[in-house]
Amino acid sequence: MGQAQNDKSDVRLLDDGKYAIVVNKSGEHAGLAGYLLVQRPDHHRFPLGYAWIGTFSQEPDGTWQASVAVPYDDASNSDFMRVVWSVERLDAIVALWKARKEAFYAI
């Protein structure tokens, strides 16, 4: 399996062999953001073997949100769907993991 992150700056929280949740551990937002990735080793657009399809992060008010990529919707002018807005970081991670198979990625 290809590396989805730099071992010095990111930590893989969950990995089922196809999907992974990775937390950024460096920079200004260290530990306050993470990404949902899907394995795509067979495509030239994803040289590290993964496509980014979701995120979780802490908002300025301290709450946590998680969103997954979806096909663009004209009505909402968005290509993301919020899957949770919560007080707890763990709730955002769990909701993102549960929504992993609903996420969309374009080739």
Domain segments of the chain as ranges: 10-102
Q: Give pLDDT tens digits for 75-97.
A: 989 988 889 888 899 999 999 99
Half-sphere exposure of 78 (CA within 13 A, CB side): 8
Sign of CA dihedral 93, 95, 97, 102: negative
Per-residue pLDDT tens digits for 6-31:
445 778 899 998 999 998 776 666 66
CA distance 12 to 47: 18
pTM of this prediction exceeds 0.85: no
Q: Residue 4's pLDDT is what?
A: 45
Per-residue pLDDT of 17-72, as tens digits, reads: 899 999 877 666 666 789 999 988 776 666 677 888 999 999 889 999 999 998 98
CA distance 104 to 49: 16
